A and B are shown apart, each in its own frame.
Chain A
Amino acid sequence: MSHRTDSPRPYSSTNCHPDRSTPFPKGMQCGVEGPVVAANLSRSCRLSGSVNSLVTTFAAVALLAIAVVSAQAQKPATPSVVADLPAGPMQAKATTACLECHEARIILQQRLSKAAWTKEVDKMTKWGALVDPADRDALIDYLSTNFSPDKPTYEPQRTSGSGKR
């Protein structure tokens, strides 16, 4: 008996920069709002970012086809909604540094002081987040400005659970 998780996999920041220039087909972009095929997306992201755009597109389409076949065969993929980090000069670098390991929601829901954000950034850097030392202070400023205690409470979504595990 095989029991595959549907938990989305990480994508590597070195292979998948979720900036707008990455030519994924619609619905297969990393870190972009909108439905995605989460489980298979991550694998395609890992592969696609390391090649040129033409090959990337081809590979992504091919993987989408594989994903569809795979989904029909074992239903591993679940559409999801991927949250984005707020616009700002550090958005791209924060996305690279933070969202390789976890999604934006974890950040969007925090309401922390600058001192607390400093601790978090340093802890995450120790745990492998790719933060250029020259960007550390700007990243802390970005997070503590956008996610300070005076910001409105983050309103979470709910699961629909339409599928069967």
Chain B
Amino acid sequence: MNSRRAFLKHMSAAALAAGATPSLLTWALPQNQSVDVPGEDGLIVRSFRFVDLETPVEYFNTWLTPVPHFFVRNHMFEPVQLDAQDWRLSVGGELEKPLALTLAELSKLETHTVVNTLECAGNGRSLHRPQVPGVQWGKGAVSTARFSGPRLRDILQRTGIKPTGKHVMFRGLDEVPGKVPPFIRSIPIEKALDADTLIATHMNGSPLTKHHGFPARALVPGWVGAASCKWLTEIKLLESEFVGNFMSPGYRFPNQPVKPGDAVKPEDTHPLTALSVKSVIAGPSDGATVKAGKLAVHGAAWAGEADIAKVEISTDAGTTWTAAKLGHDQAHHAWRLWTYDWKPNKPGDYTILSRATDTQGRTQPATPAWNPSGYLYNAIDQVNVHVA
């Protein structure tokens, strides 16, 4: 049985048994009210201030996610004012010739295009048990778009790289509240020089919207979304990994499996880099009632820097598995859509599972790798449906 559903059912029953009174719910927001966020259609509001919006899984039906459906993850306030005329991208640190590029200068560099599936490291955090703090993402802090802009390595070739330049730091224009540490992160020089690592200015053919980092963002394909710093204003080459909250203790993963709920020492962790192998069922929806006959089970699967080798579907709670058909559209760092023609003949309750395997031989596990920050949830996906 779906452990999450079972958990929720159990907890709801427990809450009622414990005498959950209407007062418990009085502070809940009216669910029939939507939140107007211009340009963002039908997204799940995890937070409005800061803006954190999740893509509902039923939107995972196009290879490229339309920008209004693309999830939004902000750690802090977006820049209040961004004037493209005044904006500069400074490039400094361990290099020969520091630069300060205007947007016009950036746009004159050769443009490269990468279709990338961007996923927040915390996608699926709400599914971990015990629960962990942070934005309680469901399954939809992931989307795919065609990003365009100059290659980072082309910029670094203009500046020249000193032998001491081993890491590349990105600083965005996020506005920091209180004494929160600034959102600055770094990636190793090898990834920075990858042909697909961009300073992206466009998304699906249009200039980046402000929610997605206008006028320019890093695009570090196949890696956790946090690597792809938005509202980029500074690139700095460093001798070693940037030292700051969002490199440590933030965005780190235990070196060894952790017993759920256990603490992990910082020295027993490493920085998050590439995404895990993962598939998600976009339809039918969990809890749906469907007609007997023919039904398309469909969804998306991705694997960070690896490619998807296969997606298998089980409609009998994991007893038997059958390969799904992978979609025609593909790119190295992008998800594959998949579909499976299911013909349920007998009415009843069914548990449908999806399990992806990638070209590195990684397969989605039956149980997620719990960790204190709830990163990289990638357990076999599951929906329960009733065939009428």
Give the distance to chain A from B183, nearest Cβ to Cβ, in Å. 13
- On chain A, the residues within 8 Å of B26 by CB distance are 86-87
A8 neighbours in B (Cβ, 8 Å)? 48-49
Is A53 part of the contact surface with B, judged by Cβ < 8 Å?
Answer: no
B residues within 8 A CB of A154?
A: 28, 136
A contact residues around B34 at 8 Å (CB): 157-160
Whether A128 contacts B41 by the Cβ 8 Å rule is no
Contact, CB under 8 Å: A161 / B31: no
What residues of B have a CB within 8 angstroms of the CB of A164 in the complex?
38-39
CB under 8 Å from chain A, chain B span 3-52: 8, 11-12, 14-15, 18, 20, 23-31, 33-51
Complex contact A155–B33 (CB within 8 A): no
Q: Which of B309-357 contact A (CB under 8 A)?
A: none
Q: Mark B209-230, 1 if CB is under 8 A from A, else 0.
A: 1110011000000000000000
User: CB-CB < 8 A to B14: which residues of A?
Assistant: 150
Chain A residues positioned under 8 Å from B83 (CB to CB): 1-3
Q: Chain B residues with Cβ under 8 A from A116's Cβ?
A: 132-133
Contacts of B20 in A (CB 8 A): 152
Question: Cβ of A112 < 8 Å from any Cβ of B?
Answer: yes
Interface centre among B11, B29, B44 (most CB of A within 10 A): B29
Q: Given A128-B177, A157-B45, A159-B45, does the pair A3, B210 have CB atoms closer than 8 Å?
A: yes
Contact of A10 among B44, B77, B215 (CB under 8 A): B77
Is A6 close to B, CB under 8 A? yes
What number of A-B contacts does a CB cutoff of 8 Å give?
194
Provide the bound-state CA to CA distance between A75 and B36, in Å: 13
- Find out whether the CB atom of A1 lies under 8 angstroms from the CB atom of B38: no
Q: Known contacts A83-B29, A112-B133, A159-B42; is A9 also within 8 Å of B77 by CB?
A: yes
- Are A7 and B50 in contact, CB atoms less than 8 angstroms apart? yes
Contact of A153 with B by CB under 8 A? yes
Contacts A102-B47, A103-B48; A161 near B11 (Cβ below 8 A)? no
Residues of B within 8 A of A158 (CB): 34-35, 42-45, 56
How many angstroms between the C-alpha atoms of A153 and B46 in the bound complex?
Answer: 13
Contact yes or no, B27 A102, CB < 8 A: no
The B contact surface, by secondary structure, is: loop
The 8 Å CB contact of A78, one of B37, B41, B214, is B37
Is B165 located at the chain interface by the 8 A CB criterion? no
Shortest distance between the CB of B65 and any CB in chain A (Å): 14
Q: Is the CB of A160 within 8 A of B36?
A: yes
Judged by a CB distance under 8 angstroms, whether A4 is at the interface is yes
Q: Is the CB of B28 within 8 A of A7?
A: no
- Give the complex CA separation of A151 and B46 in angstroms: 17
Complex Cα distance, B82 from A2, in Å, reads 6
Interface residue tally for chain B (C-beta within 8 Å): 66
**Chain B proximity of A46: nearest CB distance (Å):** 13
Q: Of all chain A residues, which has the CB nearest B82?
A: A3
Q: Does B180 contact A (CB under 8 A)?
A: yes
- Residues of A contacting B77 with CB < 8 Å? 5, 7, 9-10
- B256 interfacial by beta-carbon distance below 8 Å: no
Quick check: is A85 within 8 A (CB to CB) of the other chain?
Answer: yes
Q: Are B53 and A159 in contact (CB under 8 A)?
A: yes
Determine the distance from Cα of A85 to Cα of B172 in the docked complex, in whole angstroms. 31
> Given A8-B48, A109-B46, A127-B179, do A155 and B28 touch, yes or no (CB 8 Å)?
yes
Task: Report the bound CA distance from A164 to B68 in whole Å.
Answer: 10
Residues of B within 8 A of A10 (CB): 49, 77, 177
Q: Are A165 and B209 in contact (CB under 8 A)?
A: yes
* A120-B373 Cα distance, complex, nearest whole Å: 12
Scan A96-120; emit 1 where CB is below 8 A from any B CB, else 0.
Answer: 0000111101101111110010011
B233 within 8 A of partner (CB): no
The yes or no answer to A21 lying at the interface (CB within 8 A) is no
Given contacts A1-B84, A113-B130, contact A161 B37 (CB under 8 A): yes
Whether A100 and B12, one on each chain, are in contact in the complex, defined by CB atoms closer than 8 angstroms, is no
| A81 adjacent to chain B (CB < 8 Å) | yes
A165 touches B177 (CB 8 A): no
Known interface pairs A5-B78, A162-B36. Does A106 touch B135 (Cβ–Cβ under 8 Å)? yes
1/0 per residue B73-116: CB within 8 Å of A? 01001111111110000000000000000000000000000000
CA distance A75 to B79 in the complex (A): 17
A128 B38 Cβ-Cβ under 8 A: no
9 A-B residue pairings within 8 Å (CB atoms): A2-B83, A3-B82, A5-B79, A101-B178, A116-B133, A128-B178, A129-B178, A158-B34, A161-B36
- Apart from A127-B181, A165-B39, what 8 extra A-B contacts exist at CB < 8 Å? A1-B83, A5-B81, A80-B37, A101-B177, A155-B31, A157-B31, A159-B40, A160-B41
Contact residues of B with A, CB < 8 Å? 8, 11-12, 14-15, 18, 20, 23-31, 33-51, 53-54, 56, 68, 74, 77-85, 126, 130-133, 135-136, 177-181, 209-211, 214-215
